[in-house]
Amino acid sequence: MSAIAAQPYDYELPTKGNIALVIIDMQRDFLEYGGFGDALGNDVMQLQSIVPTVKKLLETFRSLNLPVIHTIEAHAADLSDCPPSKLNRGKGNLKIGDQGSMGRILIVGEAGNNIIPELTPLEKEIVITKSTKGAFCRTNLEEILQKENITHLLFAGVTTEVCVQTTMREANDRGYECLLIEDATASYFPDFKSATIEMLRAQGGIIGWTAKSEQAIAALLEDFR
């Protein structure tokens, strides 16, 4: 088996079919002008910058017929799955459920809640709709991974310090071998991204590994083609 050059040390790849790509929350509401992230005063260009890298990683998994999982942070139209502690948090111009330029913010079925066109999931790819930061909480993600005998997960998406980190920590606690692709994840705050990367791979990989997309893609193509 090949390994991906990573930190704090090489990430060993499993047998073919036991690895999946998890792309976290690459939604219009977070990445586009007029969306939720923009309404909160964030620089969405920080997130848009990773789109070509995420797309290349996605295309690699597709070419190798390896599993891909997309997540979407979304709530029911009546907000019954959104606790007050989340709904009322923050002082932005818009809150979850409010009307924005692309529909109601973070509501299932609204235009802004969709994954950006460049990364539109294929019909065979799994899409997990989550009402929380972590993709394992109150979803069937773990059941899906167990059914497919997945043991290793590569992570991409946004934002690094919130939904990506939360999901990776949840996965680590469940025994999955986790690798964050550094240039395929982003934050509105670059310092937060850097700090998260350091935390995840500290103490010999306490949560998992991190690597650049170039090294990850090269190893995947060598091992699984």
Measure Cα distances from 221 to 113, 138, 165, 183, 201 in Å: 32, 34, 26, 18, 24
Q: Where are the beta strands (DSSP E) in 67-139?
A: 68-73, 99-100, 103-104, 126-130
Q: How close are the terminal C-alpha atoms of the chain, in Å?
A: 13
Out of 25, 29, 38, 183, the active site residue is 25
Nearest residue to 98 (alpha-carbon basis) of 77, 84, 80, 116 = 77
The DSSP call for residue 112 is G
Active-site residue 130, yes or no? yes
Residue 176 token pair: 């999955």
Q: Which residues contact 225 (CB under 8 A, 6 or more apart)?
A: 64
Catalytic site residue from 133, 163, 183, 193:
163
Annotated catalytic residue 25: yes
Catalytic residue among 29, 82, 95, 130: 130
Catalytic residue status for 95: no
Distance, CA of 136 to CA of 131 (rounded, Å): 10
Residues involved in catalysis: 25, 130, 163
